[in-house]
Amino acid sequence: MTTKDSADIKELLNEREGFHKWWRLIRPHTLTASFVPVFVGTMIAFNEGTIDWLLFFAMMVASLLIQAATNMFNEYYDFVRGLDNDQSVGISGSIVRDGMHPKRIRNIALLFYAISVGIGVYICIASSWWIAIIGLFCMAIGYLYTGGPIPISYTPFGELFSGVLMGSVIIGITYYIQTASVTTEMIWISLPITIFIGCINFANNIRDRDGDERGGRKTIAVLLGRPKSIKLLALLFIVSFSITIILILTGALPLWSFLTLLSIPPAASVIIQFKGKTKAIEMMPAMAKTAKTNTIYGMLLGLSLLISGLF
């Protein structure tokens, strides 16, 4: 690829220099998969009693650091395996367009992991050391997603691992450190978030399908093809909202949680913006809107639980 081609991609993606390239490195649009589960898990606990705000803050920071580190490992290993180039749009471009040394990115990711471990020690002291085992497992999966001999991202299980670990597991940990318990109701409430987070990954893989196929990945999008994958994405959205309505009608969620249905329009626009698109750059808005759908749904769900807990 020519220098001009790389510059054109940077302009199309609005990639600026200075602090912006460091901000892009953590892929901020994906961090919704970190703060939404922590917020929702804490609000479920708040709806049942008081909460420890310091533990909430600690869990939030640790989750964000682990998510950012996972994104950096993704950037590093995809470059090392030759999957990324200066025309790739689903990356921060830190290596292939900004010229950052790959090992620097890997080392920053390891530093973020180290800081999150330190925060995790505090969380364990304040709650239970079982959290350490679960936390280390989550960190290992974050590394193995693109690292290791058989990266999870090269298989059809990427959405499952990301959704369950960042959804139900993080919500469960967050709820447990506040209440010292895990309930069936909490698990059911976590399911729509789990699906939405998996959908963020799925949307990413729909966008990157052609490049992933050339790179030897066997993601769901590669196996099904883009049209069927878009239909499956729409079905997953429908399942998430259906579960939410059932939980409200059965009393597991308060009536205030009908607010979450305000996230249906952005979810619908994801499907509309994906249809008929064949180029990765054309599918960037749909990918961003998927993450936004999770954010809107999660924030409204947490808000509904907060309101219910207050009144």
The CATH number assigned to the domain holding 56 equals 1.10.600
- Which among 66, 175, 173 is positioned nearest to 130, based on CA atoms? 173
pLDDT, residue 173, reads 96
pTM reported for the whole predicted model: 0.88
Q: Is residue 59 part of a domain?
A: yes
pLDDT, residue 13, reads 53
**Cβ neighbours for 285, distance < 8 A, ≥ 6 positions apart:** 273
pLDDT < 50 regions, the chain:
1-6, 8
pLDDT, residue 2, reads 46
Residue tagged 């892929």 (tokens): 27
Question: Using CA of residue 140, residue 143, residue 148, residue 154, what is the dihedral sign?
Answer: positive
Measured from the Cβ of residue 140, the count of other Cβ atoms closer than 10 Å reads 12
Question: Using CA of residue 54, residue 57, residue 59, residue 65, what is the dihedral sign?
Answer: negative
pLDDT, residue 4, reads 44
pLDDT, residue 73, reads 87
The rounded distance, in Å, linking the Cα atoms of 310 and 107 is 44
pLDDT, residue 78, reads 79
Residue tagged 């996972």 (tokens): 70
Q: Is residue 9 part of a domain?
A: no
Domain count, the chain: 1
Q: Is residue 7 part of a domain?
A: no
Q: Is residue 4 part of a domain?
A: no
Q: Is residue 6 part of a domain?
A: no
Q: Is residue 1 part of a domain?
A: no
pLDDT, residue 146, reads 82
pLDDT, residue 157, reads 96
The rounded distance, in Å, linking the Cα atoms of 164 and 194 is 6
Q: Is residue 10 part of a domain?
A: no
Range of the domain at 40: 16-310
Q: Is residue 204 part of a domain?
A: yes
Q: What is the chain's percent helix, strand, coil content, to nearest 5?
A: 75, 0, 25
